């Protein structure tokens, strides 16, 4: 199966047969979160997509070194090397030490990833833990004549680099267009050209996060950390580098320029970019406020939802779209995914109880091939899920005595389906029949509570709500009645 995996490479714009640098081993680097606030569902979509990709590579038998960093310094408020450091700013606003902010949101990120059943990466390095490596790279790029110091800061010289290289190769931008698209420097700027980007910034007196360097007390530019950490843990050239598509420019473009200047080689063989999760047709984003937090989704505690959804339903919803397609979040879409998820769980459960016959009336080998054909086609999870539903149809037919499976076919189908549903899509088994018993019981309890409310017996109605909450069930009163969800 391994040779057949094709990956869409942003660099070439084509699906390419995947060939790892070292046989049976993969080096994969994914840009991690900037830990100055909670991750929203959009961020989660990107990390869950790469979790699926990681899981599939493991399933194919690769030994994967998966590095996903934590950005805890250097990410300024805007991409033009201006504004405050996002973490410093949050620390100032909340009167906390920057590392308290980092700790708080890193812990929160891990908790959310665990709820989504995402595997931890093999290495999770931080930008602040790699200042020395970053300084070394800056020095080397200066030595090569591709960066210059200006007033204690160091900038990458894009135009000089471009004389022998192709800046813009990843995002398909031409340097001439980039130049004409930027505003003129006003003479106050430290940069020689507006395209140049910071490798090192001198800290202003109010900037709390600062380290000594040959140029100033300062801090590294945001793009540099990923070059330093990917180089340290995966080498000068590695297999896969990923992130959301909004990171293509400038972040990943700058990474290529820095790494090539530092090592002389193209750092990455396959650049992979995930598409955005949208809300009301617009990208979910921290800065605009157009977003939903995972905990709001689980509890239903938001005006966007009539009830909460289990993290596995949300994961299934994400897997129903290809990682390179845009996906719009809505209550209706989640409700449809919940039905689909339950149907799949029921199918997986029924599969365990099927009895076999001498011969099969179904083409199980063909079905299994279609599962792999989907995944090998650039991790096409929506097609895989459609094929898994085909399998559920067959399972139901066998259950009803309308079809039969041989012992070998049944065993093959069981092991492949379990591996793909649980190990690769990363879903956890949820017993649907338990769920429906719980639903019936909750219907009775909420009916009793409704009666209490109608009789203005607030003591009883509040007691029921509080006791359910203690038992891990959140009850929400809305204008269309009362809904409930299991706290995850
Ligand atoms: P940040 O913490 O802002 O650096 O973002 C972490 C990751 O989430 C990056 O890979 C982003 O590209 C990705 N991301 C941000 N917004 C969205 C979104 N709406 N949908 C999918 N991924 C996103
Ligand atoms: Zn990065």
Contacts of 424 (CB under 8 A, 6+ apart): 52, 55, 56, 59, 375
Beta carbons within 10 angstroms of residue 309's beta carbon: 23
Domain spanning 2-274, CATH class: alpha beta
Residue with tokens 């063909």: 366
**Whole-angstrom distance between the N-terminal and C-terminal Cα of the chain?**
36
Q: Is 283 in the pocket of ligand 1 (CB under 6 A)?
A: yes
Beta bridge partners of 8: 15
Residue 422 C-alpha to ligand 2 middle, in angstroms?
29
Residue 33 CA: nearest ligand 1 atom is 2
Beta carbons within 10 angstroms of residue 23's beta carbon: 9
Distance CA 316, CA 58 (A): 20
- What mean pLDDT comes out for the span 380-395? 98
pLDDT at 179: 80
pLDDT at 2: 42
**Top-confidence residue, 73 or 152:** 152
Is 74 in contact with 224 (CB distance < 8 Å)?
yes
pLDDT tens column, 391-415 = 999 999 999 999 999 999 999 999 9
Q: What percent of the chain has pLDDT over 90?
A: 83
Displacement of CA 247 from its chain's centroid (Å): 13
3-state secondary structure of 417: helix
Tokens of 319: 């897997």
pLDDT band at residue 57 using 50, 70 and 90 as cut-offs: very high
Lowest-pLDDT range of 70-79, 281-290, 463-472, 479-488:
479-488
Distance CA 74, CA 185 (A): 22
Do the first three CATH levels of 2-274 and 278-424 match, i.e. the same topology?
A: no
Contacts of 24 (CB under 8 A, 6+ apart): 2, 61, 62, 63
Supply the DSSP symbol for 126: B
Q: Whose CA is nearest to atom 1 of ligand 1?
A: 33
pLDDT tens column, 291-340 = 999 999 999 999 999 999 999 999 999 999 999 999 999 999 999 999 99
pLDDT tens column, 276-291 = 999 999 999 998 999 9
Q: Which has the closest alpha carbon to 112: 56, 37, 53, 55? A: 37
Tokens of 139: 């020095």
pLDDT at 1: 46
The rounded radius of gyration (Å) of the Cα atoms in the chain is: 26
pLDDT band at residue 55 using 50, 70 and 90 as cut-offs: very high
pLDDT tens column, 230-278 = 999 999 999 999 999 999 999 999 999 999 999 999 999 999 999 999 9
pLDDT band at residue 83 using 50, 70 and 90 as cut-offs: confident
Distance CA 17, CA 179 (A): 36
Distance CA 115, CA 109 (A): 10
Residue 35 CA: nearest ligand 1 atom is 2
Record the pTM: 0.91
Q: What's the full length of the chain, in residues?
A: 488
Supply the DSSP symbol for 129: G
Q: Is 390 in the pocket of ligand 1 (CB under 6 A)?
A: no
Q: Whose CA is nearest to atom 8 of ligand 1?
A: 43
DSSP state letters, 306-353: SS---HHHHHHHHHTS-TTS-EEE-HHHHHHHHHHHHHHHHHHHHHHH
DSSP state letters, 220-237: E-HHHHHHHHHHHHH-SS
Q: Is 45 in the pocket of ligand 1 (CB under 6 A)?
A: yes
Residue 180 C-alpha to ligand 2 middle, in angstroms?
26
Supply the DSSP symbol for 12: T
| Residue 114 vs residues 109, 119, 175: alpha-carbon distances, Å | 9, 7, 42
Residue 362 C-alpha to ligand 1 middle, in angstroms?
43
Q: Is 321 in the pocket of ligand 1 (CB under 6 A)?
A: no
Domain spans of the chain?
2-274, 278-424, 434-486
If you count DSSP H runs as helices and E runs as strands, how many of each does the chain have, helices first? 16, 17
Closest ligand to C-alpha of residue 109 is 1
Q: Is 259 in the pocket of ligand 1 (CB under 6 A)?
A: no
Mutation probe of ligand 1 site: the residue of 10, 32, 38, 42 with most atoms within 8 A of C-beta = 42
Distance CA 372, CA 223 (A): 36
Q: Is 300 in the pocket of ligand 1 (CB under 6 A)?
A: no
pLDDT tens column, 114-166 = 999 999 999 999 999 999 999 999 999 999 999 999 999 999 999 999 999 99
Question: Domain 278-424: which topology?
Answer: Isoleucyl-tRNA Synthetase; Domain 1 (1.10.730)
3-state secondary structure of 41: helix
Give me the residues near ligand 2 (ion), CB cutoff below 5 Å: 31, 226
Is 170 in contact with 249 (CB distance < 8 Å)?
yes
Q: Is 246 in the pocket of ligand 1 (CB under 6 A)?
A: yes
Is 60 in contact with 23 (CB distance < 8 Å)?
no
Q: Which residue intervals of 197-283 are DSSP H helices?
A: 222-234, 253-263
Lowest-pLDDT range of 91-105, 110-124, 168-182:
168-182
């Amino acid at each position: 199966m391994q040779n057949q995996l094709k990956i869409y490479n942003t660099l070439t714009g084509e699906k390419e047969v995947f060939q790892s640098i070292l046989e049976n081993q993969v080096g994969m680097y994914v840009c991690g979160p900037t830990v100055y606030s909670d991750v929203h569902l959009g961020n989660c979509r990107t990390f869950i997509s790469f979790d699926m990709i990681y899981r599939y590579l493991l399933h194919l038998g690769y030994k994967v070194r998966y590095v996903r960093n934590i950005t805890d310094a250097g990410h300024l408020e805007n991409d033009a090397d201006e504004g405050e450091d996002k973490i410093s700013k949050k620390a100032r606003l909340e009167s906390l030490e920057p590392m308290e902010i980092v700790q708080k949101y890193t812990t929160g990120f891990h908790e959310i990833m665990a709820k989504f059943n995402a595997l931890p990466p093999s290495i999770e390095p931080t930008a602040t833990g790699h200042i020395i490596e970053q300084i070394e790279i800056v020095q080397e790029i200066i030595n090569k004549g591709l960066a210059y110091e200006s007033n204690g800061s160091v900038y990458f010289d894009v135009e000089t680099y471009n004389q022998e290289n192709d800046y813009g190769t990843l995002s398909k931008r031409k340097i001439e267009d980039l130049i004409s698209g930027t505003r003129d420097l006003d003479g106050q700027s430290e940069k020689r050209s507006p395209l140049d980007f910071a490798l090192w910034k001198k800290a202003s007196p109010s900037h709390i996060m600062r380290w000594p360097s040959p140029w100033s007390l300062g801090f590294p530019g945001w793009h540099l950390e990923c070059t330093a950490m990917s180089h340290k843990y995966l080498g000068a050239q590695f297999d896969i580098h990923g992130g959301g598509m909004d990171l293509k420019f400038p972040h990943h473009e700058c990474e290529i320029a820095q790494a090539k200047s530092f090592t002389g080689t193209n750092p990455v063989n396959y650049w992979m970019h995930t598409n955005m999760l949208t809300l009301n047709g617009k990208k979910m984003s921290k800065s605009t406020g157009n977003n939903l937090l995972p905990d709001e989704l689980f509890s239903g505690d938001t005006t966007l939802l009539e009830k909460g959804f289990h993290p596995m339903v949300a994961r299934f919803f994400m897997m129903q779209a290809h990682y390179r397609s845009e996906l719009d979040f809505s209550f209706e879409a989640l409700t449809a995914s919940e039905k689909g998820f339950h149907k799949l769980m029921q199918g997986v459960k029924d599969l365990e109880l099927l009895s076999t016959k001498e011969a099969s009336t179904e083409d199980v080998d063909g079905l299994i091939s279609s599962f792999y054909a989907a995944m090998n086609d650039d991790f096409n999870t929506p097609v895989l899920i459609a094929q898994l539903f085909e399998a559920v149809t067959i399972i139901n037919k066998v259950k009803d005595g309308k079809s039969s499976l041989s012992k070998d076919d049944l065993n093959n189908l069981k092991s492949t389906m379990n591996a793909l549903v649980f190990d690769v899509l990363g879903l956890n088994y949820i017993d649907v029949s338990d769920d429906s018993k719980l639903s019936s019981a909750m219907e009775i309890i909420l009916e009793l509570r409704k009666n209490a409310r109608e009789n203005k017996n607030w003591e009883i109605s509040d007691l029921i709500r509080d006791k359910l909450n203690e038992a891990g069930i959140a009850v929400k009163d809305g204008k269309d009645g009362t809904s409930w969800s299991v706290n995850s």
